[in-house]
Structure 1
């Protein structure tokens, strides 16, 4: 057990960083390319198009604007474009490469028309950026890989994602104190909501109305079952089912990205994302409110919601495990890779444990959730770096069980029940909890990134062993003096021209096959053509001979002179 803990600690404190950590200013570029010529418009356009496609996938998956901008600049810099300006807004990426004072810049733009929760695509792009950094892949190869990532289908079928959403709702209901019947009802309600929203998305329905339909469906089944529970003799709390449905609808919104952009220096994108978040939340509230009013008109009333959220200490392990299961189910529903599911489970376990433990103190819900989110960002970031998973996956999955679905429902119920002050108080509390979650995750990731600064990669063990062996290896015998006894001295004379073996006679070449600086060789007379087994006179003519002006033995092949008898070979 001690060795296992030591190995786990060494892995957490190792030198592997996330992709965004290794491309910060001052990081080491393993395979830099030579700069692109400013007149090579095709090469510059190819690199810019590749960088914008990668940035579009990152922005579509919920990555912050600053992190997206940094990775776009890094990809362009690896391929030789250093002077690049990147502008990332809510749904637009503009990349411009400067070519000096005399040439106009080259600009590319990419639009992000949709938002998708596909963590596998995000992880694949993250690994592609690593390959661009570490390997010498060409821009055309990287283009092909990006296109394959974008056009690839989801790793799991839709029914797996639907089951995962239902499992997440069941775990959230257990986290809120529900029993088996509540968990089963939350599973069925969420499955119907996800299926309907998928159908509405295929026909192009705006997201606001999809959220409206989800909020409406979250209320109606729970209220109908509550109305029939008295006759069936069962006890059910519809608020737990409704709150679980609201959490499922809130989990698909970019809460972390909006607050992270506002904190890290992208206020325009942060405000746009936050306004979208408020608008989509308004759709959920509208759907829940309309459903409650219609049911009240039909004579079915919901029970009064208690303001107490405390629970016994004995229930703490069950709720912590339920929160971890909800985080893992959310990662599966968002098409995360298998290696990311365990990391998401640990992130949800840590976040839920910290938040649930803080309820036994007097710190309050906002501080407790913010502290839990900070731990999720810190520990989840370290775990994600070892699993080669983007930290965003762990952060979003870890805080999902802590989303204020119950606070939103309480605020809406208070407003509809003519308890305006109480309703707006709970709404403000829900907004504060959401901001605390996003800010805590951002702080935790920043601390994790600061603890894991980019470092020089460690030398592999085989390189160290090889260098040590080379140092301990004795000098070769060829470098020693006196020479070994088996070495001949003086060296044997080189072969004379007459000792050369006969060269191979070249085949007759046609005038087209001959070089331009040679004239066609005239055919030989059959009478002078050598017979089989004889020697060609042409070959004898081609035999190199000493030049006439050179003395004998001093031609092209010279015989080394004999060393004097009174001198050693090393003095010669």
Structure 2
């Protein structure tokens, strides 16, 4: 065996031999699985509806606009519509199917109505896309399979999802250096927040006000626990409870998707998603601020935040709890067992890197950039080996690293009248969040480049034979 063969064999062992659907979506479809009569508008509509329904699930799950567009075009081309113009703008999908000379194009539009995050649904659609790409499914079986996926209930009950969110808060509290007692308080508080917001959501309350309520509920218990501790001469760091609640409430926001869209060439969608993230974060901050004022008026004032770097847990505990928090987030998002395993590994790697770099004194922005890039790369490769959509592992891996501490510190300084320090900390929070999203996007791009199949040059310029 030559050196080149050995290198190739080692590369296959490390990277695996199964690319993700994102790796192959932009490649040309050489032979359609099922040619369609372009003069038959009904047949064209059936193909486009299938492609748009796939795109709806992808966009609903946080997939970037460019990747969603490529998958829609891929499905349409596979079933005989190679000449489709696809545009995804924020929550709207537009498809124009050009049917050839003498025939007017057929135009379609779909508005995506966001539902609760369900990563099992995303995994099942990913599997369906693999089957479509291999030519294993005709149009009608593919439509029936997708309808079944979309109509299915969540794989776990709401109690399991509630446990996932609560477990994530407890793990983050421990990662921040909190005691087991504070972790239990965070668990109970987050469970109460989730249950309350589910009830408010059923009443139709806009998500912004649910974030306000979540921020309020995350702060009040911490204030009264601190008051009780002072009365009994005990030492407690209440900010850990509040910060864990902030991180959990920020976890479901599409920051990664917004930055990915900005980087990959969808600025309008990126702007819409980013404004949405900022508005929901403002609601969360507002809820925390209201709670701080109210508890202060009731005699349960919280102490001001220290300016120096606050201690995290020891590195081994950070690694363990970071992985646990990522797996808990994946569980709360209804991910499959194999996705939970890869999410744990991704979160452990990210938390370990952040802890190591912070201990070296390089600061949170550098730590976030390095950790997120490695999470995007390693998580992307792990996801491909486990046949899991990479976005699940990437988002779960960086979720425990969301800058909840900087957000709370900035808000605390606003309440104390330290405007300049508050602006500095809030700006740091924005920078860390964007760095996390950009780093994981870069890492995933490297993983995708390494795993993308290589076609002969004579095929690269051809869309469909």
TM range (shorter): over 0.9
The higher radius of gyration belongs to 1
Counterpart of 1:424 in structure 2 is: 423
Matched, 1:60 2:76: no
Which runs of structure 1 show a deviation greater than 6 angstroms over 4 or more consecutive aligned residues? none
Q: How far off its partner does 1:455 sit?
A: 4.5
Cα distance in 1, alignment partners of residues 25 and 163 from structure 2: 38
Counterpart of 1:366 in structure 2 is: 365
Listed as ranges, the gaps of 5+ residues in structure 1 are: 1-6, 457-572
Matched, 1:125 2:109: no
Alignment partner of 1:14 out of 6, 13, 16: 16
Matched, 1:397 2:396: yes
Q: How far off its partner does 1:451 sit?
A: 1.2
Q: How far off its partner does 1:370 sit?
A: 1.1
Cα distance in 2, alignment partners of residues 221 and 434 from structure 1: 27
Map 1:181-200; keep pairs closer than 5 Å.
181-200=181-200
Counterpart of 2:432 in structure 1 is: 433
State the Cα RMSD in Å.
1.8
Cα distance in 1, alignment partners of residues 271 and 262 from structure 2: 7
Q: Residue 351 and residue 9 in structure 1: after superposition, are their counterparts in 2 closer, same or farther (change >3 A)? A: farther
SS in 2 for 1:309: coil
Work out whether residues 215 and 288 of structure 2, in 8 Å CA contact, stay in contact via their aligned partners in 1. yes
Listed as ranges, the gaps of 5+ residues in structure 2 are: 1-8, 456-465
Map 1:336-485; keep pairs closer than 5 Å.
336-455=335-454
Cα distance in 1, alignment partners of residues 424 and 357 from structure 2: 21
Counterpart of 1:160 in structure 2 is: 160
Cα distance in 1, alignment partners of residues 318 and 91 from structure 2: 38
Cα distance in 1, alignment partners of residues 385 and 203 from structure 2: 41
Work out whether residues 16 and 384 of structure 2, in 8 Å CA contact, stay in contact via their aligned partners in 1. no
Q: Which moved more, 1:131-140 or 1:192-201?
A: 131-140
Cα distance in 1, alignment partners of residues 174 and 121 from structure 2: 31
Cα distance in 2, alignment partners of residues 323 and 245 from structure 1: 15
The C-alpha deviation readout for 1:403-442, integer Å capped at 9, x for no partner, is 0001000000001110001111100000000000000000
Normalising to structure 1: TM-score of the pair?
Answer: 0.76
Q: Residue 10 and residue 310 in structure 1: after superposition, are their counterparts in 2 closer, same or farther (change >3 A)? A: farther
Counterpart of 2:328 in structure 1 is: 329
Q: How far off its partner does 1:135 sit?
A: 3.2
Q: How far off its partner does 1:132 sit?
A: 0.6
Map 1:23-34; keep pairs closer than 5 Å.
23-25=25-27, 32-33=32-33
Cα distance in 2, alignment partners of residues 267 and 370 from structure 1: 22
Counterpart of 1:273 in structure 2 is: 273
SS in 2 for 1:359: helix
SS in 2 for 1:86: strand
Work out whether residues 304 and 413 of structure 2, in 8 Å CA contact, stay in contact via their aligned partners in 1. no
Cα distance in 2, alignment partners of residues 439 and 146 from structure 1: 32
Cα distance in 1, alignment partners of residues 10 and 327 from structure 2: 21
Q: Residue 310 and residue 360 in structure 1: after superposition, are their counterparts in 2 closer, same or farther (change >3 A)? A: farther
Q: How far off its partner does 1:108 sit?
A: 1.9
SS in 2 for 1:32: coil
Work out whether residues 85 and 95 of structure 1, in 8 Å CA contact, stay in contact via their aligned partners in 2. yes
Cα distance in 2, alignment partners of residues 261 and 438 from structure 1: 10
Work out whether residues 34 and 138 of structure 2, in 8 Å CA contact, stay in contact via their aligned partners in 1. no
Work out whether residues 12 and 383 of structure 1, in 8 Å CA contact, stay in contact via their aligned partners in 2. no
SS in 2 for 1:291: helix
Cα distance in 2, alignment partners of residues 240 and 143 from structure 1: 48
Work out whether residues 25 and 70 of structure 2, in 8 Å CA contact, stay in contact via their aligned partners in 1. yes
Cα distance in 2, alignment partners of residues 23 and 67 from structure 1: 8
Work out whether residues 319 and 348 of structure 2, in 8 Å CA contact, stay in contact via their aligned partners in 1. yes
Map 1:533-552; keep pairs closer than 5 Å.
none
Map 1:142-291; keep pairs closer than 5 Å.
142-291=142-291
Map 1:72-83; keep pairs closer than 5 Å.
72-83=72-83
Cα distance in 1, alignment partners of residues 401 and 394 from structure 2: 12
The C-alpha deviation readout for 1:450-506, integer Å capped at 9, x for no partner, is 1112147xxxxxxxxxxxxxxxxxxxxxxxxxxxxxxxxxxxxxxxxxxxxxxxxxx
Cα distance in 2, alignment partners of residues 181 and 227 from structure 1: 16
Q: Residue 116 and residue 12 in structure 1: after superposition, are their counterparts in 2 closer, same or farther (change >3 A)? A: farther
Q: How far off its partner does 1:101 sit?
A: 3.6
Matched, 1:293 2:301: no
Cα distance in 2, alignment partners of residues 311 and 92 from structure 1: 44
Counterpart of 1:36 in structure 2 is: 36
Work out whether residues 15 and 455 of structure 1, in 8 Å CA contact, stay in contact via their aligned partners in 2. no
Work out whether residues 165 and 329 of structure 2, in 8 Å CA contact, stay in contact via their aligned partners in 1. yes
Greater RCO, CA 8 A, separation 6+: 2
Cα distance in 2, alignment partners of residues 116 and 440 from structure 1: 26
Counterpart of 1:315 in structure 2 is: 314
Matched, 1:95 2:95: yes
Cα distance in 1, alignment partners of residues 118 and 10 from structure 2: 29
Work out whether residues 169 and 244 of structure 1, in 8 Å CA contact, stay in contact via their aligned partners in 2. yes
Q: Residue 249 and residue 8 in structure 1: after superposition, are their counterparts in 2 closer, same or farther (change >3 A)? A: farther
Work out whether residues 338 and 386 of structure 2, in 8 Å CA contact, stay in contact via their aligned partners in 1. yes
The C-alpha deviation readout for 1:361-406, integer Å capped at 9, x for no partner, is 2422111101100000000000000111000000000001100001
Q: Residue 8 and residue 404 in structure 1: after superposition, are their counterparts in 2 closer, same or farther (change >3 A)? A: farther
Cα distance in 2, alignment partners of residues 263 and 411 from structure 1: 28
Cα distance in 1, alignment partners of residues 15 and 256 from structure 2: 26
Work out whether residues 326 and 343 of structure 2, in 8 Å CA contact, stay in contact via their aligned partners in 1. yes
Q: How far off its partner does 1:11 sit?
A: 3.9
Q: How far off its partner does 1:233 sit?
A: 4.9
Name the count of aligned residue pairs: 449
Q: How far off its partner does 1:320 sit?
A: 1.4
Q: How far off its partner does 1:303 sit?
A: 1.1
Cα distance in 1, alignment partners of residues 25 and 305 from structure 2: 50
Work out whether residues 261 and 269 of structure 1, in 8 Å CA contact, stay in contact via their aligned partners in 2. yes
SS in 2 for 1:436: helix
Q: How far off its partner does 1:111 sit?
A: 1.1
